[in-house]
């Protein structure tokens, strides 16, 4: 059905933006008879909720038969959003939708000048959009007058309750007139949301647009398996393989955002970062850089998982697996919006495959594809394909280009010109990382997630696993402090999958857990020629020094002592002021370090990037 022409000024704004037919949630809230009703709406992210409630409360604000809003000294509508980014996004959407109505729309969010917001409120505003903390600040100081309020919208109410804004929401709703309309939008209607609706809504119409469609139907999920030590470099290859006009990369902590951002910039990616410690102006500039195309990659914490709508955003990468299914869906929902297609890549360390499978199951995602990190050859093939399909090759020449093009054609033959084009094209692309692929089939075997922690007693046959020999011994000053990270990197295993270690004069014997041995052999077989040589071996026999095994992994994180390690990083990203709270904890830190190279048999050397 087309959009109803109840308010012609809004209909013209929709037509100018290319809106022809409403989305499911927009059609649902525009049904006849709901013009004065409270609404309890469940709709997934990216479904057009902002336009939906902007159209839904239009009859409440604009007099019948009129196309413009009457003058207002105090707000007529209040929209409450959980994060700064979402509030600014809502304000931007409502500004173009209500452009011809004369509406004054004011934002009140944390991290900005509160005095300027107070002046904007005192000058009169029809619609106020803000975060709960900052709105309560203005309310307590008398800058926000809700006495004339006709409608309140709670956007993503579930997220606001998750972030601990219940008291602020109740304070704002209690201060609003009792006869107002209340429109409550949430991804899910949990018990807390239902209780909030019963207290503050009157005879609300229940609308559900989530159950009628599959979760994130327009998003293709890819689970990329990699060695824990290669996650950082694997991210580089994923970005290069897909070459999205705009990509968003999620990390679990601020420190990780800084590390990944620095590594991407060093490798030539046009990248920006967003995290809770940044000021609102910095975050706004970063988002604008993405929208304008100046930057192509945004590295962010979960503070940016909601509220960012960039049409060209077609790739989302989870550098760390989130701890909850809801976080996975919120992050992924930045792409595949409003009917556009998108790709979501989850970086999965081989020892956490079962955890990833459970996470996808909880999120009801059944169509995820499992694959290895894109190889350098595969990326080169993609580069060649993209070059052959580049629009520049098919665009007609301009008058100011013809003369120079003719001069080049007279001096150089076609092959020389094509070679120059290829070189120019490649020079603008970030470098590709050389990574040994992890076998998807081999890593599907049992992982440490499914077995109880193992204690190391010093017995050489404790694991009952397979033994391997490394051509480095006491003559080369072999030491478990750097042997263990070397074995982990070469074999795609973790420290907990290595059993006893027996260092002899000219070689070192070590044991690999039985259900990891097949994957270990697969990774070792693909090692470079100049790497330390690892071969199958028999268990050591006869008198020897006591074997040394690694200590047990710590709860919540894995932290080898040696160089080149990979440790769990606890902590989270919490909002800077009352206008923003919460974050996501935990996760592994991706490593952007080049692999070690044992060339002279006397140890390992690493170059950090």
pLDDT digits (tens, 9 = 90+) for 210-222: 654 455 667 899 9
- Provide the mean pLDDT of the chain: 80
Question: What pLDDT, on the 0 to 100 scale, is given for residue 452?
Answer: 38
Relative to beta strand 313-318, strand 246-250 is: parallel
Where a domain ends, among 175, 208, 241?
A: 208
Does any domain span residue 164?
Answer: yes
Q: Is 548 helix (H, G, I), strand (E, B) or coil?
A: strand
Predicted confidence at residue 116, as pLDDT, reads: 94
What CATH number did the domain enclosing 314 receive? Answer: 3.40.50.300
- Same domain (yes/no): 104, 45: yes
Pairing of β 297-300 and β 271-274 = parallel
Q: In this model, does residue 577 exceed pLDDT 60?
A: no
Which of 548, 442, 464, 449 has its CA nearest to residue 512?
Answer: 464
Asked if residue 543 is part of any domain, the answer here is: no
Q: Is the pLDDT of residue 308 over 80?
A: no
Question: For 151-173, what is the mean pLDDT?
Answer: 89
Domain stops at, among 177, 208, 239: 208
Tally the domains of the chain: 3
Supply the pLDDT for residue 571: 38
Q: Kindly state whether residue 542 falls inside one of the protein's structural domains.
A: no
Q: Encode pLDDT of 90-107 as tens digits.
A: 999 999 999 999 999 999
Token output for 239:
């970005």
Determine the 3-state secondary structure of 330 from DSSP.
helix
Q: What is the mean pLDDT of residues 521-535?
A: 76
Could you tell me the pLDDT band of residue 38, with boundaries at 50, 70 and 90? very high
C-alpha torsion sign, points 247, 249, 254, 257:
negative
- Residue pair 87/76 in contact by the 8 Å Cβ criterion: no
418 and 273 in one domain? Answer: yes
Q: Are residues 181 and 253 in the same domain?
A: no
Phi-psi region of 597 (alpha: psi -120 to 50; beta: other; left: phi over 0): beta
Parent domain of 497:
454-537
Assigned domain for 332 exists: yes
pLDDT tens digits for range 46-92: 678 899 999 999 999 998 888 889 888 899 999 999 888 889 889 99
Q: What single DSSP character describes residue 515?
A: G
Judge whether 138 and 171 are in contact, CB under 8 Å: no
Are 39 and 56 within 8 A, CB to CB? yes
C-beta separation of 135 from 156 below 8 A: no
Same domain for 129 and 162, yes or no, is yes
Residues 144, 115 share a domain: yes
Instruction: Output the domain CATH number for residue 499.
Output: 3.30.70.330
Q: Does residue 569 lie within any of the structural domains?
A: no
- Mean pLDDT value across residues 503-521: 86
Q: Are residues 267 and 387 in the same domain?
A: yes
Beta bridge partners of 181: 151
Task: Give the separation between CA 28 and CA 214, rounded to whole angstroms.
Answer: 18
Q: What is the mean pLDDT of residues 543-552?
A: 44
444 occurs within a structural domain: no
Percentage of the residues of the chain whose pLDDT score is greater than 90 = 27
Query: H/E/C letters for each residue in 191-227?
Result: HHHHHHHHHHCCCCEEEECCCCCCCCCCEEEEEEEEC
Helices (runs of H) and strands (runs of E) counted in the chain: 20, 18
Residues 199 and 220 in one domain: no
> What's the pLDDT at 245?
86
Gap between the Cα atoms of 120 and 106, Å rounded = 7
Residue 111 pLDDT exceeds 60: yes
Q: Which residues, in sequence order, are CB contacts of 136 under 8 Å at separation 6+? A: 168, 171, 172, 578
- Structure-block tokens of residue 187: 């991804």
pLDDT tens figures, 442-479: 544 444 444 433 333 333 345 568 889 988 888 888 88
Whether residue 477 sits in one domain with residue 427: no
Final residue before a domain boundary, out of 208, 239, 258: 208
Decide: helix, strand or coil at residue 511: strand
φ, ψ for residue 370, nearest 5 deg = -100, 135
388, 492: one domain: no
Both 243 and 96 in one domain: the answer is no
Query: Is there a single domain that holds both residue 198 and residue 236?
Result: no
- Does residue 562 belong to any structural domain of this protein? no
Assess whether 371 and 352 both reside in one domain.
yes
E strand residue ranges, 244-359 = 246-250, 271-274, 297-300, 313-318, 342-349
- Does a structural domain hold residue 564? no
Whether the full predicted model's pTM is greater than 0.85, yes or no, is no
* pLDDT tens digit sequence for 230-247: 888 899 999 999 988 889
pLDDT number for residue 250: 92
CA distances from 530 to 434, 435, 454, 595, 597 (A): 14, 14, 33, 12, 7
Q: 381-426 pLDDT, tens per residue?
A: 988 898 898 888 888 888 888 889 888 888 998 898 899 988 888 8
Query: According to the model, what pLDDT value does residue 542 have?
Result: 54
């Amino acid at each position: 059905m087309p959009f109803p022409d109840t308010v012609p000024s809004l209909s013209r704004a929709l037509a100018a933006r290319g809106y022809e037919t409403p989305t499911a949630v927009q059609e649902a809230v525009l049904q006849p008879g709901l013009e004065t009703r409270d609404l309890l709406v469940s709709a997934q992210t990216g479904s057009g909720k902002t336009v939906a409630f902007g159209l839904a409360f239009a009859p409440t604000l604009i007099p019948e038969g009129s196309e413009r809003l009457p003058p207002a000294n105090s707000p007529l509508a209040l929209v409450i959003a959980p994060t700064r980014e979402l509030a600014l996004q809502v304000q931007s959407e409502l500004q173009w939708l209500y452009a011809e109505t004369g509406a004054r729309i004011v934002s009140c969010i944390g991290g900005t000048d509160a005095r300027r917001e107070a002046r904007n409120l005192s000058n009169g505003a029809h619609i106020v959009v803000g975060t709960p903390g900052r709105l309560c600040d203005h309310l307590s100081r008398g800058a926000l007058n809700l006495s004339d309020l006709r409608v309140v919208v709670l956007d993503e109410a579930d997220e606001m309750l998750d972030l601990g804004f219940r008291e602020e929401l109740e304070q704002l709703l209690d201060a609003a007139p009792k006869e107002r309309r209340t429109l409550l939008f949430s991804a899910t209607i949990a018990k807390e949301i239902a209780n909030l609706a019963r207290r503050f809504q009157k005879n609300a119409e229940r609308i559900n647009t989530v159950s009628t469609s599959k979760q994130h139907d327009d998003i293709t999920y890819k689970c990329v398996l990699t060695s824990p030590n290669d996650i950082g470099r694997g991210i580089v290859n994923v970005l290069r393989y897909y070459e999205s006009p705009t990509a968003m990369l999620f990390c679990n902590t601020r420190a990780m955002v800084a590390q990944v951002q620095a590594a991407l910039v060093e490798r030539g990616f046009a990248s920006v970062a967003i995290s809770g410690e940044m000021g609102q102006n910095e975050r706004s500039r970063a988002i604008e850089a993405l929208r304008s195309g100046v930057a192509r990659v945004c590295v962010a914490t979960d503070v940016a998982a909601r509220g960012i709508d960039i049409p060209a955003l077609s790739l989302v990468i989870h550098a760390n697996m989130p701890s909850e299914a809801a976080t996975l869906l919120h992050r992924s929902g930045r792409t595949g919006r409003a009917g556009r297609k998108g790709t979501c890549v989850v970086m999965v360390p081989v020892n956490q495959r079962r955890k990833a499978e459970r996470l996808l199951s909880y999120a009801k995602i059944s169509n995820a594809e499992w694959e290895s990190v894109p190889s350098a050859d595969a990326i080169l093939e993609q580069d060649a394909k993209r070059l052959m399909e580049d629009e520049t090759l098919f665009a007609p020449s301009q008058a100011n280009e013809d003369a120079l093009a003719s001069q080049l054609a007279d001096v150089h033959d076609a092959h020389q010109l094509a070679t120059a084009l290829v070189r120019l094209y490649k020079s603008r692309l970030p470098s590709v990382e050389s990574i040994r692929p992890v076998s998807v089939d081999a890593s599907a075997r049992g992982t440490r997630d499914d077995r109880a922690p193992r204690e190391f007693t010093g017995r050489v046959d404790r694991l009952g696993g397979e033994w391997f020999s490394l051509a480095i011994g006491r003559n080369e000053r072999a030491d478990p402090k750097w042997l263990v990270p070397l074995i982990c990197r070469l074999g795609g295993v973790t420290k907990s999958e290595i059993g006893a270690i027996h260092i002899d004069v000219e070689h070192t014997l070590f044991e690999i857990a039985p259900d990891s041995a097949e994957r270990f052999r697969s990774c070792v077989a693909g090692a470079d020629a100049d790497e330390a040589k690892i071969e199958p071996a028999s268990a050591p026999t006869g008198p020897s020094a006591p074997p040394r095994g690694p200590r047990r992994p710590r709860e919540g994180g894995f932290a080898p002592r040696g160089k080149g390690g990979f440790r769990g990083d606890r902590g989270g990203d919490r909002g800077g002021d009352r206008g923003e709270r919460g974050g996501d904890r935990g996760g592994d830190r991706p490593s952007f370090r080049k692999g070690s190279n044992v060339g002279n048999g006397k140890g390992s050397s690493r170059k950090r990037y």
